[in-house]
Structure 1
């Protein structure tokens, strides 16, 4: 079921205006001390400290069986589909965390996502693309749900979107 959604979304994204780049990222270098539970170990490695952090409370329930492997597969299929795009990809989309429950989107070109408004526009595009998928339509009232709701269905806890330079916006999904 997740395969069907991921494949559908990847196809939609590949032909849409929502490029992404699947990159094999090295793991963050081991720090001298283990980060505290409330510290974000990806700050300074994938993105700067968040400029803003918000919480989105979704009315959705995580789908039974949505585990690390499904979230990794979702991100991989979406990225793979968009890599096949005929134009240069302006940002990378990948997952991190022990449970792969943190989605990260990082701009690869200066100015692409340097404001909250551009970040929200990317997320709005992701909502639009998600609404076209049979997976999303079968599990939500598509016109009322958004990309954060899709992430909640799949068990994601957080999404971070950054220009990869100075701007980072983070959303905790409850």
Structure 2
């Protein structure tokens, strides 16, 4: 089994210049560092990160209802993923945000990169983000709450 770790740290300890806070989401109240047990894939690049976000968005559009969140790849090299709820009452607790990330694991497993992994069912969404070269994932209710995960 692959091992990974995470730690939630107070916002002041993890704060850095976040150019997207205040535009896509409020300043994060909580931060987490996720240490993945997988390396960044050799072929991970901006285009693969963009394609991943586009692919997840396309999966949402195939459903017969409005999406509960929007995904964005931002940053100089598209290394930051942003996930923002589309309506009130969604992803408004840390537990709901983590549940969203768990559900995104299932969606990510349907992508070609996940199936190329030696142990695809041992990986979670944040591991997959690491494989693609994402260094940060921010989840927000789009109103007052944001949680930011640094991926190492």
Shorter-normalised TM range: 0.7 to 0.9
What is the aligned counterpart of 1:91 among 69, 72, 76?
69
Higher Rg:
1
Aligned pair count reads 138
Unaligned segments of structure 1, at least 5 residues:
1-36
Unaligned runs of 5+ in 2: 1-14
1:167 lines up with 2:145 in the alignment? yes
Asked whether the 8 Å contact 2:70–2:83 carries over to 1, the reply is yes
- Matched with 2:30 is 52
Specify the alignment match of 1:33 in structure 2. Answer: none
Q: Matched residues in 2 for 1:143 and 1:72: separation? A: 23
TM-score normalised by L of structure 2: 0.84
Q: Take 1:88 and 1:165, find their aligned partners in 2: how far apart are those partners?
A: 18
Please provide the CA RMSD for this pair.
1.6
Alignment equivalent of 2:117, drawn from 136, 139, 163: 139
Give the alignment of 1:3-152 within 5 angstroms. Answer: 38-152=16-130
Going from structure 1 to structure 2, the CA distance change for 1:78 and 1:128 (only over 3 Å counts) comes to closer
Q: CA deviation at 1:145?
A: 1.4
Deviations 1:101-147 (A, max 9, x none): 11110001101110001001101111233335453133142332111
Structure 1: 4+ residue segments shifted above 4 A:
none
